[in-house]
Amino acid sequence: MAVKKLRSQRILPSSLSSDELSRIRVSIRRQAFFSARVENAKLLTRMRKIVSQTIDAGLPGKAAIAKLREAVESSGYTAEPGTEGTIRDLTSSPRLKLIAETNAAMARGYGAWAGKQDIDTLRRYPAQMLVRKLVRKEPRNWKARWIAEGGQISRGSLVAGVNNPIWTRISRFGLPYPPFDFNSGMGLSQISAKASFTRNIRFSSADINPRRVPDFDADANSVLPNDLEIRARLLRDLGPGYQVRLGKVVRS
């Protein structure tokens, strides 16, 4: 399911920053494969294929980064002066690692989320807990973010029903599954119905109502801004000062 979802994503070339891209509605971003300030559709297509291989064939992290760098360099890309070696340099290891890990984690997160959208599974495991999966030198304050978004705390843990809107609210990407933010290191742990009762976890029937899992059998080889309806929605979301030029979303 994770690989199928990733391969179905249509390409979104743009010169936009990650903050600008985050302003685009989730329904569009969920359909798209993109990276901040990457305008080359062919390069994005190659990158999507490489990231798919990290999941499908278990491509090791270093090998994925090497393949991504080869794809970027063969595209004729050159970093903007002054950004060489930084996260804004598409050939730098930190940027390539971020692209590979974030997109792979999103695909896996989607696959796990889709697997939970079964009424029997939801009855057995109606809740889940936000947990740290990977250590970070400077971890974000997830408890503060959780409380600010109205999440409940049970025995010191951040817990909610599987389909509670809190999961979308804490996500930088507006998605109800990990990674929740760039390099967050956060993940989910399922909680059984018995444990949910013991912990006195509060959730509504809506929290454990199965969500519709999208059909990814549609053609995935197109460039997303070429769709006139989606193009109009993209520009509406971004507001004044943006346009689609030669299939790319750019600042006017």
Residue 93, pLDDT > 70, answer yes
Domain identity same for 139 and 196: yes
Asked if pLDDT for residue 80 goes beyond 50, the answer is yes
| Amino acid 222: pLDDT | 67
Mean pLDDT of 213-219: 61
Question: Which of 189, 208, 227 is the C-terminal boundary of a domain?
Answer: 208
Take residue 24 and report the two structure tokens written for it: 């685009």
What's the average model confidence in pLDDT over 97-117? Answer: 92
The predicted-structure confidence for 112-153, as pLDDT tens digits, reads as follows 999 999 999 999 999 999 999 999 999 999 999 999 999 989
Do both 196 and 224 map to the same domain?
no
Query: Do 14 and 92 belong together in one domain?
Result: yes
For 130, residues 6+ apart whose C-beta sits below 8 A from its C-beta are 142, 146, 157, 158, 159, 170, 186, 187, 188
At 45, list the tokens. 């297509």
pTM, to two decimals? 0.84
127 and 230 fall within a common domain: no
Round to whole Å and give the CA distance between 178 and 186: 7
**To the nearest whole percent, how much of the chain has pLDDT over 90?**
60
Residues 99 and 145 grouped into a single domain: no
CA 90 to chain centre: 19
Distance CA 155, CA 173 (A): 28
Is the pLDDT confidence value at 37 over 70? yes
**Does residue 160 contact residue 188 with C-beta atoms inside 8 Å?**
no
Would the pLDDT of 65 be above 90?
yes
| The residue to which tokens 């590979």 are assigned | 100
Considering the domain architecture, whether residues 132 and 234 belong to the same structural domain is answered as no
Query: Which H/E stretch holds residue 248?
Result: strand 248-251
26 Cβ partners below 8 Å, 6+ apart? 168, 173, 174, 175
> Cβ(213)–Cβ(119) under 8 Å?
no
Across 168-185, average pLDDT: 94
Q: What's residue 29's pLDDT?
A: 85
Nearest CA among 41, 46, 20, 37 for reference residue 78: 37
Domain range for residue 35? 2-113+215-251
Confidence of residue 27 (pLDDT cuts 50, 70, 90): confident
Is there a single domain that holds both residue 109 and residue 223?
yes
Name the pLDDT band for 219 (thresholds 50, 70, 90): very low
Q: What is the pLDDT of residue 94?
A: 94
Same domain, 139 and 185: yes
Residues 185 and 220 in one domain: no
**Token representation of residue 23:** 């302003």
Q: Are residues 149 and 202 in the same domain?
A: yes
Helices marked H in the chain — which ranges? Answer: 2-8, 18-21, 26-29, 41-56, 61-74, 93-116, 119-124, 142-148, 166-169, 193-199, 228-238
Same domain, 46 and 24: yes
Does residue 193 share a domain with residue 68? Answer: no
215 — pLDDT class (breaks 50, 70, 90): low
Q: For the chain, how many structural domains are there in total? A: 2
**HSE of 115, CA atoms in CB hemisphere, 13 A:** 11
